[in-house]
Homo-oligomer: A and B are copies of this chain.
Amino acid sequence: MIQLHRDTRILIVGLGLLGGSYALALKKKGFRCIYGLARRQETVDYALEHGMIDEGSCHVDADLIGRAEIIIFALYPTVLVKWVEKNGHLIREGTVVTDVTGVKSCIIDPVVRALPQGVQFVSVHPMAGKEVGGIENADETIFQGANYIVVPTEQNTEDAIRLCEDLGAELGFGRISRLTPQEHDEMIAFLSQLTHCVAVSLMCANDDDRLVRYTGDSFRDLTRIARINDEMWSELFLLNKDALLQQMDRFTAQMEKMRGYLSTNDREGLREMMRISTARRGKFDKK
Contact = CB atoms under 8 A, between A and B. Distances in A.
Contacts of A273: 200-201, 204
Nearest to A275: B230
Interface string A160-202: 0000000000000001010100001001101110111111111
B226 A281 contact: yes
Contact of A281 (B192, B205, B227, B267): B227
Judged by DSSP, the binding face of A is helix
Interface in A222-267: 222-228, 230-231, 233-235, 237-238, 241, 244-245, 247-248, 250-259, 262-263, 265, 267
A277 interface: yes
A212 to B, nearest CB: 5
Contacts of A235: 267
B216 A190 contact: no
Given A199-B277, A248-B259, A214 B282 contact: no
Contacts of A155: none
Contacts of A153: none
A251 B200 contact: no
Given A184-B214, A195-B219, A201-B273, 12 more contacts: A127-B214, A147-B214, A190-B211, A191-B216, A203-B276, A204-B257, A204-B273, A212-B283, A226-B278, A241-B263, A245-B259, A252-B255
